[in-house]
Structure 1
Amino acid sequence: MPWDMSKKYWPEVVGWPATQAVMKINADRPDVAIEVIPSGTTVAPGYNAERVRVFFDVGIASGIVVSTPAVG
């Protein structure tokens, strides 16, 4: 596989527009599903090794990633 399966966190995308963050994560790990979720939304608990959640701001900085996306 050409991608790095050990990459599990993307701290570099915090502060980026969510669309750009998704493109970066997809380039690094095309094997995971990416969920883009408004910050403050309640999500189902549980770890999923095939998922990355990207939480974005819905306020003044609308669309900006607010926390480090991670596999899980």
Structure 2
Amino acid sequence: MVGASWPHYPPCVSEACTNAACCGQEFKYVWPELVGKPASEAAATISKNNPAVTVLILKPGFIRLANFCCNRVYVFTDEKGIVSEVPTVG
């Protein structure tokens, strides 16, 4: 993709966790209610609910990293910028 802007990925932090529930502890870790919402609204909600994560909005065609990270939430969007999958820590 010529001229594409690559998302910034934060350093991965997971300690001994290998799933979202382990990461959540005192913070929210899954947001099914955000599917169908604008990505910017979803990112703000996630950041408010869990200040320990970095929210990465991914447009169609962008590939997520395969490693699991407790401090990252991907927000997958459609071509209109609407959340298309349940955002989850990882």
Task: Please give the TM-score of this superposition, normalised by the length of structure 2.
Answer: 0.68
Point out where structure 1 has 5 or more consecutive residues left out of the alignment: none
Structure 1 residues 8-19: aligned runs within 5 Å:
8-19=29-40
- 1:42 to partner: Cα distance: 1.7
Structure with higher Rg: it is 2
Residue 38 of structure 1 is matched in structure 2 by 59
Structure 1 residues 1-72: aligned runs within 5 Å:
5-58=26-79, 62-72=80-90
Point out where structure 2 has 5 or more consecutive residues left out of the alignment: 1-24
> Percent identical across equivalent pairs?
36
Q: Distance in 2 between matches of 1:28 and 1:6?
A: 7
Q: Distance in 2 between matches of 1:23 and 1:43?
A: 20
How many pairs were matched up?
Answer: 66
Any runs of at least 4 consecutive aligned residues in structure 1 with deviations exceeding 4 A, and if so which? none
RMSD: 1.4
Contact 1:39/1:66 (<8 A) preserved: no
